[in-house]
A and B are shown apart, each in its own frame.
Chain A
Amino acid sequence: MSDLATYNFAYLDEQTKRMIRRAILKAIAIPGYQVPFASREMPMPYGWGTGGVQVTAAVIGPEDTLKVIDQGADDTTNAVSIRAFFQKVANVAVTTKMREATVIQTRHRIPEETLTEGQVLVYQVPIPEPLRFLEPRETETRKMHALEEYGLMHVKLYEDIARNGHIATTYAYPVKVEGRYVMDPSPIPKFDNPKMHMSEALQLFGAGREKRIYAIPPHTKVVSLDFEDHPFEVQKFAKPCALCGAHGVYLDEVILDDKGGRMFVCSDTDFCEERREAGHVGELGVANKEAAE
């Protein structure tokens, strides 16, 4: 053993974890309600997932397997560095396979495959208050939540339709949780909103800079707000994934050259790789060697 100071398991000290766990328990007890917590400075800048990291640190145990997603991908900067962080400070097993993971920290996506019982999905949240851009006063928005005055949320959707002819909000689309609190589901595409409804997994949301934690317990109703004559709809894509040929998944646009060439590929890299390994090939994909042999 070296005499150098070592980190406590999962970086945060036990008292801090205890405080965060209490906030999480309260959040689970009141689905969709934003619980204030004493967010700590983390060794990363605000906006990089300080809230998510603190929630993960508070819930993770030595037996857990961690997966980190950034915009659906396992191999982007944010995902790689947070994964490395927890390997170092908690020495937990990490994976990119969604089915093997027990704790999944995510930025801006929900995995394509359905989450199952026992899994915990931790979201990184930049702005937890769905009413913020219409009502800048925190005292007022808290009161509006307390008294269930959510007319303002529909004003935003009204504006969308008046300007664009349809609800043009495509991400951070407001939802009503268990018929009570209106919640910002973090900037996930509205494509992912239906996945939150009645999910078997526990969903936790951490906002580090804004110092708020909220949660959707398993089997909770999550309804996207809409108008009777302009119902909620998810994005549709004209073509399947160019690499794996999957239909009905969320796609990212990739520019190929400076002559207008582009392709659309799965944003969930793990899902796409698994399909390609299983021998599915899209129009620009290369057949898997083993599968071809």
Chain B
Amino acid sequence: MSELPLLKVHELSKFYGGRIGCRNVSFDLWPGEVLAIVGESGSGKTTLLNCLSTRLTADVGSVEYHMRDGQYRNLATMPEAERRFLMRTDWGFVHQNPADGLRMTVSAGANVGERLMAVGERHYGRIRETAGDWLGRVEIGLDRMDDQPRAFSGGMRQRLQIARNLVTSPRLVFMDEPTGGLDVSVQARLLDLIRGLVQDLGLAVIVVTHDLAVARLLSHRMMVMKDGHVIEHGLTDRVLDDPREPYTQLLVSSILQV
């Protein structure tokens, strides 16, 4: 692991008029680290994620990213062309609803190949080979390569979305409730897959979830949010096994036991 953080977040705030989206969030993310942001609905998790991934503009504070050339760059002041290039090469974004992250009207192969074509690959055979390889890694059969995602099940769509994001070997992936809306066995398989990929590729991941079990399985560190504030921050096992804040204690004790 490198000595320098991949992402430096400083005093980030976002307001929706008088209401708080998220307030005074600061943290560093190191390469290869998985950070979970947990909290109840409306606690500002997704707002924070969107601010970090430049999908929303923060009102106060800065997000600096460690570029491949070794420089730190403030994402808010980066030219749009460069930012979009970064988003489709060095970053990934996995949406809760796969339809938001996929092109539903083009085949699975083209979905995975799109990023390659966007960075200038112009050889059909090579694009197809790489796409096939990635579909294999997310356990989608090659016979489904030319099918459109709308012919896929929810779990398959989510795996396709992951493959589509990872094809350019990004260093940072944002995930917004990646397992939301999937049944438990599919969820387990997907978590297993994500865990394997994160480890193999040394990805840094920021995952937003309200499911503490997902956070436990995937993440190294977690932040607990409430009403736009980060109220507790620490190693996942520490936060879940020994929660300090009353709200975190409530959250942990609310997990249903079977």
Contact = CB atoms under 8 A, between A and B. Distances in A.
Interface in B63-104: 80-81, 84, 103
Interface string A117-145: 00000000000000000100000000100
Contacts, number: 56
A227 B122 contact: yes
Contacts of B124: 158, 161, 227-230
Contacts of B125: 229
B146 A162 contact: yes
Contacts of B176: none
A163 B109 CA distance: 11
Interface residues of B, number: 23
Interface in A137-173: 143, 147, 149, 151-152, 154-156, 158-159, 161-163
Main secondary structure on B side of the interface with A: helix
B235 interface: no
A244 B80 CA distance: 56
Nearest to B115: A151
Contact of B123 (A151, A152, A159, A228): A228
B29 interface: no
Size bracket, chain A contacts: 10 to 19
Given A134-B103, A147-B80, A151-B117, A162 B110 contact: yes
B110 A151 contact: no
Contacts of A155: 103, 106, 110, 113-114, 117
Contacts of A151: 114-115, 117-119
A231 B128 CA distance: 16
Contacts of B113: 155, 158
A274 B114 CA distance: 48
Among A154, A228, A230, the most chain B Cβ lie within 10 Å of the Cβ of A154
Contacts of A159: 106-107, 110
A154 B80 contact: no
Among A134, A159, A226, the most chain B Cβ lie within 10 Å of the Cβ of A159
Interface in A251-286: none
Contact of B127 (A147, A152, A158, A226): A158
B109 A162 contact: yes
B84 A158 contact: no
B125 to A, nearest CB: 5
Interface in B132-146: 145-146
A158 B109 CA distance: 9
Interface of B: 80-81, 84, 103, 105-107, 109-110, 113-115, 117-119, 122-125, 127-128, 145-146
Given A134-B103, A158-B127, A163-B146, 10 more contacts: A134-B105, A147-B81, A151-B117, A152-B118, A155-B103, A155-B113, A155-B114, A159-B107, A162-B107, A230-B124
23 contacts: A134-B105, A143-B80, A147-B80, A147-B81, A149-B84, A151-B118, A154-B117, A154-B122, A158-B109, A158-B110, A158-B117, A159-B106, A159-B107, A159-B110, A162-B145, A162-B146, A163-B146, A227-B123, A228-B122, A228-B124, A229-B123, A229-B124, A229-B125
Interface of A: 134, 143, 147, 149, 151-152, 154-156, 158-159, 161-163, 226-230
